[in-house]
Chains A and B, each alone.
Chain A
């Protein structure tokens, strides 16, 4: 029956952002907009990358010999395993440190939140090299940590530098800002009223956190973990400078094959394996979340 009440509520959300149909504002064909970048990247990015692919199956001779050698070599497989293991440790460690920071910044906000983010930003924008150098000093034989340990009576003076421990610790420290920013980006969108609702419904703080906040922060955790893990996989500078020369990570191995051993075929194959691992993880992430989410 026609007993509708007339609709006097305010209009719905903003007008759609669809490009007006059939009438674009600048160019009819977007070709001239994207073609330069596309051609540039093709010439100066895809070609060198393709060259690596090609080299991996053509040096020193055609075939999959380099790959066969990689998977047959216990050394190389050890490098791969170590890299994954280290990346996992780094990811977990940085998550443990980053979560409280992001949490306080997101929930408390205000001056303290801004301050925390400012310090994180400072770390984020300082180059890896500078921060690696800082760790070199701190963990060095004449640095404060060894000094402290010796003063506490540890004999003989332990060597902390040029160990896998040093590289792992430093990398975790350096990737915490990535993790914080990824977590924060998601956490700041968590509606504060949810926690209040949980409290009004009788949930104690820890319970409310575990059942309401934590699940909503998981996308941020996944974002950050993926980003940190993949970055750590390909990390060159820090492991090479302060990590163990015997226990290399995969990027260092590639560098070694390139510079010292001059085995470009092997280096290319190792690169491909590293790339495959990174791409696989990104593809997995993109399937679930869409890749640009990582940098939002």
Chain B
């Protein structure tokens, strides 16, 4: 999948993670053939929980996809009327929660029923429905301030593609096996080699090719 850049939304901030982890601790224990009674051991659970988070973070960075449903906030660098589509650089985009902006110090909400989501091969875009325009100040001559969108993106619970889920498990397994190992800064023991090749292959195959240069 390829995504082309379009001027607009940037400075993405994670608001909250609402979806459950795509991989449960019990699935990790079973995958590693560990005794499931370890689920009552707080230290082990903390370690595995950290490994799950690490693997999810790595997978999301490489694939440009969000593995669990989350709420984000992003800002327009400039919003000044028009009907241009804007790319929302989180995948898969689920819904728009709200759009807000500021005019002369007054916070204003933009009616989200006036916009539509255009799914495409890669990041989705949002644009005004037919007959509507993005907000502006003073008759399209002045951009609005603090224009932002709050949206939900990420795979719903149980919807993460099997390949990605399997890559997560393999990566977590690798982290578990090598826990406590010291690694040198170069050579075959470099940190990047801690990610199994099969994971990298799966992530690269499923990655959105991101041509965006910027924040």
A, B from the same assembly: no
